[in-house]
Amino acid sequence: MIFLTFPIFAQSGKSPAIRESGQKTIGEIWCEMVKKTFVNPSFDELGTLHEGYSFDELLEIAQRSNPSLYRSASKIAAAKGKRNQAGLYPNPRLSYAGDNLGVKGEVGKHGLAITQEIVTAKKQKLDRTAASYDVSAAKKEYSMTQLKLQNDLKIAHYEIIYAILICKVENFAQDLSKDLLRVAKTMHKNDNSKAIDILHFQTMLNAEAVDYKQAENNKLAKWQNLVSIVGVPDLPYQPVRGTLIDHSPQRNWQATWTQLQSVSPQLELAKIKIAQAKVYSNRAKAEQFSNIYATFSLARDIPAKANVPFVGITTPLRIYNKNQGNIARTNAEIAIANREFDCLSLRLHQKLATVFCQYENACEIINVYEKSIIPDSFEALRQIGENYCNGKMTYLDLYAQRKIVINALLKYIEALETKAISVTKIDGMIIEGVLD
């Protein structure tokens, strides 16, 4: 049962007091409804659950079970391996050469040669620097994965809290209809002309049973979404605890956008890509300077019983291929990385605008519903209920107001969910999709 801030019906001195044997008065039925529905009323209670998994408990399980974190950690290890490989100097080459073998029965000449490639123009340092940016990018992606997991799980946690609260509202709606049906039966027990009231409330009760079943199905679907993010899809359904109530200060658009621009890990990752593109460009330019190959060999002339040393230096001549194509490509990649940064900034601006609009709309709805719509709708229901008992209003009036009350509760809880999720996205810097 959802505990509300406002009495649904108050016992009225005008309620019929005629009592049949074993039959309660209408006033007593109203009193029972009040006692059953109200306990220490508060709007906080309307958006809060007290039993089950907390967000922190689910996050602890997810950090052990979600494969995305292990995937991101493996990318860091792979990037470090690439950086280590880039820092290794080229291996020398060992070769053997023989001459005049078996000529006129002579043994001939035998020799060994060692060739070492000498890297020029700081190419090796540039390779290590470029690979180091891969490590930095992998670490940044890992921290983003952690943030994605936290954001996605928090949103899923809010969604299932919302789904459970909706079930409670639908259950409350059923209980309210049952009470109205009981009232109608009590009032019109011997009045066949009012049998339509009983039939109407019974129809309403049957329709609400369908709504409740749909709310239950949605709750189970939200649970399956949550356990997928946790990484334990066979985790059986359990209640969750937490609140949709957000008491943080009202956010300002310009301050929020400025903050996002300064701390967004997505933009920081894009900056890493720009810096790496510049290193690749410098590396392509360094390729214009050929490496040098130094060779030292020592041959043994067996017939002459003499050792013949040899030293050679070779290097390619950059006449036709001056790596001009790769230089042009890497320069273009710098421009692409810069434009990607600009596009990413605009995409974040676009996403934040949408989320911030949802946030502000939810704040407005919550404020108005708490101050007037919900209390006024409950007070109207109380007064219409009394007038119905006194014969001054029909069941249509009572049903219409009851529907307003239930819709107000549903709209209010939906706004609480929207605000909580919007705040999560804003504070989480619009980062989500841990399973993507």
Q: How many CB atoms lie within 10 A of CB 140?
A: 19
Maximum Cα–Cα distance across the chain: 140
Span 125-168, pLDDT tens digits:
999 999 999 999 999 999 999 999 999 999 999 999 999 999 99
Confidence of residue 71 (pLDDT cuts 50, 70, 90): very high
Who's near 262: CB < 8 A, 6+ residues apart?
none
Span 339-374, pLDDT tens digits:
999 999 999 999 999 999 999 999 999 999 999 998
- Which residues constitute the domain of residue 208? 26-427
16 within some domain: no
pTM score:
0.86
Span 232-255, pLDDT tens digits:
999 999 999 999 999 999 999 999
Total domain count for the chain? Answer: 1
9 within some domain: no
12 within some domain: no
pLDDT at residue 399 greater than cutoff 90: no
Q: Exposed e or buried b for every residue in 262-296, given b needs 16+ CB within 10 A?
A: eebebbebbebbbebbbbbbbbbbbbeeeeebebe
Beta bridge partners of residue 95, listed in sequence order:
113
What is the edge-to-edge ordering of all strands in the sheet holding 306-314? 93-99, 109-118, 292-301, 306-314
250 within some domain: yes
Query: Comparing 186-195, 257-266, 268-277, which segment has the lowest mean pLDDT?
Result: 186-195
18 within some domain: no
CB-hemisphere CA count at 13 Å for 214? 7
Query: Residues 399-412: what's their mean pLDDT?
Result: 90
CATH code where residue 123 lies: 1.20.1600.10
Who's near 47: CB < 8 A, 6+ residues apart?
165, 243, 244, 245, 413, 416
Query: Comparing 12-26, 106-120, 386-400, which segment has the lowest mean pLDDT?
Result: 12-26
15 within some domain: no
The more confidently predicted of residues 105 and 72 is 72
What's the confidence (pLDDT) of residue 27? 55
341 within some domain: yes
137 within some domain: yes
What's the confidence (pLDDT) of residue 1? 37
Tokens 């001939």 appear where? 108
**CA nearest 286: which of 431, 129, 147?**
129
